[in-house]
Structure 1
Amino acid sequence: MLRSSLRVLKRRQSTLNSGIWSNFTERPTSLQIQNESIKKDIFNQLPQDQKPASILNYDEKQQYHSPIDIDETFEMAYKILEKDSESKYKVINKLKSAIEQKQNANEDVTDLKDQLDKILVDAEIENPEVLYNTEFVNSELLDKSQPVYRELLKQKWQDYDLLVTMQRLEQLHVIPDTLPTLDPKADVKIKFTHNTDSNFIDWVTPGSLLPAFAVSKPPTIQIQEFERKEGKDNLYTILLVNPDTPNLETNSFKTTLHYGLKNVSLNNEDNTIDVSRILKNGPKITFSEYVPLTPEKNAPTQRACLWVFRQDSKIDKTNEDKENFDIRKFVDDHKLTAIGAHVWRQKFDRSVPKVREEYGLGRGRVFDKIRGTEPLNL
């Protein structure tokens, strides 16, 4: 009985490991499951007394039972999908040859690369290993140079994170108080890595209310483009503005600039603006140093609105009024295209005085809780 089971297992292993999805001579190894134990459990028939390595919770592992005929169904479906993928890879190889020929002749290959990306997605989007990685592996560890991962991450983003972000931007009137609209093309995430408090170390949910100490240092900004972005020619501008700065002269509010980056070179894989990038390229890309929002006492809750733009060309000098920043004029003047945004909120808290002192902002003002309807005569 044992020998018979081993023969079946070996036959099944050889069958599932003989096609295109098991060939990594021309395909990147990032498309396979890196954990050997989990990969073995997925592709091999488990003994009755063994539970999947992918289940970490002991109680869930004890309760797990494989569905009836799941192994046979998986093997049959795998063969069908892999055979379809093999036919697509024949087209992929022809496209790669055509691209190489055109590149050698210094001809434009953009259209051919677009075709290649589409077929690469079709060839891998049903691959169980790719699907497992997208669902269960930290997205920061995925190989974003692979079109299939970008496509699957885009689908996940559209199903949840994009909806949350757009809801908060509209609910909090970031749109249209700062810019009139947004056609989102990139997943923009931020976190403040200087924090040690577990409540503030993760990626910030759009619209979150944060204390001053939690945002006292520049944020790490991740900009995940889903379109193909290669090399160092993709330039971006990042603006952090506060449209809720009290303006005593008009008894209203004005927009102030709190952080400004320009000519930031990013691509699909190198997509994060963090401390190391700022230390290395700070003087070249920073045109407005980071100053955190520090709402004064009795001032309304303020919005920190972070916008990400693609640049058509390199931006040279900027001479902006940070205290009365016109973000719409800045965008028009420099021909910027908004591709993503984020927002968090702040109000006066006990940590504000210390942060104001750290940045040399003075003691701050205390506003009357009752706001008049007439402009102040100062």
Structure 2
Amino acid sequence: MLSSRLLRGVVNPARRLYSTGVWSDFSKRPESLKLIDQQYQNDLLKGIDPEVGPASIEQEDRKLAYHSPVAIDETFAMAYELLQTESKAVYDQIAVEKDQAKIDQLSVKAEKYNPEVLFNIENFPEKIDREQPVYRKYLKELWESHDKMLTMQRLEQHHVIPDTLPTLVPVAEVKVKFPHNTASEFKSWVEPGTILPAFAVSKPPTIQIQEFERIAKDSLYSVILVNPDTPDLDTNTFKTTLQYGLCNVPLSNSDISIDTLKLLQHGDKYTFCDYEPLVPEKNAQTQRACLWVFRQEKELPVTNLNKERDSFDIRSFTEQHGLTAVGAHMWRQAFDRSVNAVREDYNLGKGRVFHRVKRNQPVIDYSGINVV
């Protein structure tokens, strides 16, 4: 019986070595470096039972049809043992190192080729322990390979830079979603630059801020949402409106979300300007919701901060309070059928109606006027 199971690859002597060595010793290593799913871990480190098939394949017929490549177990075992030996040497260095920054660097070096770590980051990115430097390293690489470039492209394409702040060197990933929505197209993370209807942004967003370098627990952050496209009839141009203001929000490498629950518990401590969604007016241009995230040098006096929404000067505000921009996000809005209902919910009164035709005279509010 045992010999037949060996031939089928269920019990592979080459993989018995995986139960010893530094990558299987969690006495001095966090358990979060272990593969999150037990069945996946068994397949990876003990071999796939051909009578069951891989856990990573859901379709039953495909599970049983799967065959491992020839000699993959032996090749994997040799590579695993070589990399684990190299990792052990790095952990020996960590044991005598005192500097935390150096320890973080060595920790990444010791775990970056661990197949369990790689499998976790590939398949369970929302469940990983973000306190671990190796996971943050791979998250940063994923961010830099696409989302960072996309965000900066949209911020510059839509002139969020320099219309709100002059520049940005992003060091943190900023993600935004509006979980009050039920439709899948509106409840997921918002791609920067997306045009959203008023009803989809009618409640405060969940904001996720991921720092990749080690930060102190309870580091303080501010979030400012502005609309630089509010029509100003007096000057025939546009002014910036403050739509949302948060400060003194404590975050860490693993506690990265500003959500409804956190604000319900501590909203008075964090909110210096309540959320008010953009409500573009009829025939006005598309408006930009520009969300900026800042590190704080010290705790800010919530009660004394500028709470005036109208003609908000974000540049002088950030300079006055020593705020350092670490990331940003943006979405866009135009007038739609849900705007009036949102205006009513927030007691904003009736919106203005602008004329579509370009004219030589300044912009005029044509509400209630018979235009010839």
- Residues in 1 aligned to 2:61 and 2:157: alpha-carbon distance in whole angstroms: 42
Q: TM-score, normalised by structure 1?
A: 0.91
Deviation (angstroms), 1:223: 0.3
Matching residue of 1:301: 286
Of 178, 197, 209, the residue aligned with 1:223 is 209
- Residues in 2 aligned to 1:336 and 1:372: alpha-carbon distance in whole angstroms: 42
- Residues in 2 aligned to 1:47 and 1:239: alpha-carbon distance in whole angstroms: 54
Deviation (angstroms), 1:45: 3.0
Q: Deviations over 1:230-289 (max 9, x none)?
A: 322x11110000011111111111110000001111111111101111111111111111
- Residues in 2 aligned to 1:183 and 1:168: alpha-carbon distance in whole angstroms: 14
Tell me, yes or no, if the aligned pair for 1:248 and 1:376 is still in contact at 8 Å.
Answer: yes
Of 194, 200, 204, the residue aligned with 1:208 is 194
Tell me, yes or no, if the aligned pair for 2:14 and 2:73 is still in contact at 8 Å.
Answer: no
- The answer to whether structure 1 residue 40 and structure 2 residue 42 are counterparts is yes
Aligned-partner SS, 2:134? helix
- The answer to whether structure 1 residue 89 and structure 2 residue 76 are counterparts is no
CA RMSD of aligned residues (A): 1.9
Larger deviation: 242-251 or 6-15? Answer: 6-15
Of 135, 141, 148, the residue aligned with 1:155 is 141
Tell me, yes or no, if the aligned pair for 2:168 and 2:327 is still in contact at 8 Å.
Answer: yes
Tell me, yes or no, if the aligned pair for 2:295 and 2:326 is still in contact at 8 Å.
Answer: yes
Gaps of 5+ in 1: 99-111
- Residues in 2 aligned to 1:62 and 1:11: alpha-carbon distance in whole angstroms: 23
- Residues in 1 aligned to 2:63 and 2:158: alpha-carbon distance in whole angstroms: 44
Residues 214/377 of structure 1: CA separation in 2 closer, same or farther (3 Å cut): closer
Tell me, yes or no, if the aligned pair for 1:251 and 1:374 is still in contact at 8 Å.
Answer: no
- The answer to whether structure 1 residue 73 and structure 2 residue 75 are counterparts is yes
- Residues in 2 aligned to 1:246 and 1:59: alpha-carbon distance in whole angstroms: 61
Of 257, 260, 264, the residue aligned with 2:242 is 257
Of 264, 284, 298, the residue aligned with 2:269 is 284
Structure 1 runs of 4+ aligned residues shifted over 3 Å read: 4-8, 47-50, 57-65, 371-378
- Residues in 1 aligned to 2:266 and 2:286: alpha-carbon distance in whole angstroms: 33
Q: Deviations over 1:29-88 (max 9, x none)?
A: 111112221111111233455531112245654664322221111111000100000001
Gaps of 5+ in 2: 366-372
- Residues in 1 aligned to 2:49 and 2:176: alpha-carbon distance in whole angstroms: 45
Matching residue of 1:369: 356
Deviation (angstroms), 1:167: 1.2
Q: Deviations over 1:81-111 (max 9, x none)?
A: 000000011111112xx4xxxxxxxxxxxxx
Equivalent residue letter for 2:133: P
Matching residue of 1:18: 20
Q: Deviations over 1:1-47 (max 9, x none)?
A: 74275498353342111010001111111111122211111112334
Equivalent residue letter for 1:248: L
- The answer to whether structure 1 residue 270 and structure 2 residue 255 are counterparts is yes
Tell me, yes or no, if the aligned pair for 1:250 and 1:376 is still in contact at 8 Å.
Answer: no
Matching residue of 1:115: 102
Larger deviation: 252-261 or 9-18? Answer: 9-18
Tell me, yes or no, if the aligned pair for 2:51 and 2:64 is still in contact at 8 Å.
Answer: no
Tell me, yes or no, if the aligned pair for 2:288 and 2:333 is still in contact at 8 Å.
Answer: yes
- Residues in 1 aligned to 2:134 and 2:141: alpha-carbon distance in whole angstroms: 11
Of 308, 325, 333, the residue aligned with 1:321 is 308
Q: TM-score, normalised by structure 2?
A: 0.92
Deviation (angstroms), 1:183: 0.4
- Residues in 2 aligned to 1:46 and 1:256: alpha-carbon distance in whole angstroms: 59
Tell me, yes or no, if the aligned pair for 2:195 and 2:332 is still in contact at 8 Å.
Answer: yes
- The answer to whether structure 1 residue 358 and structure 2 residue 342 are counterparts is no
Q: Deviations over 1:178-220 (max 9, x none)?
A: 1111100111011111111222111111111111011000000
- Residues in 2 aligned to 1:210 and 1:65: alpha-carbon distance in whole angstroms: 47
Residues 332/244 of structure 1: CA separation in 2 closer, same or farther (3 Å cut): same
- Residues in 1 aligned to 2:326 and 2:93: alpha-carbon distance in whole angstroms: 33
Equivalent residue letter for 1:3: S
Larger deviation: 234-243 or 7-16? Answer: 7-16
Larger deviation: 65-74 or 291-300? Answer: 65-74
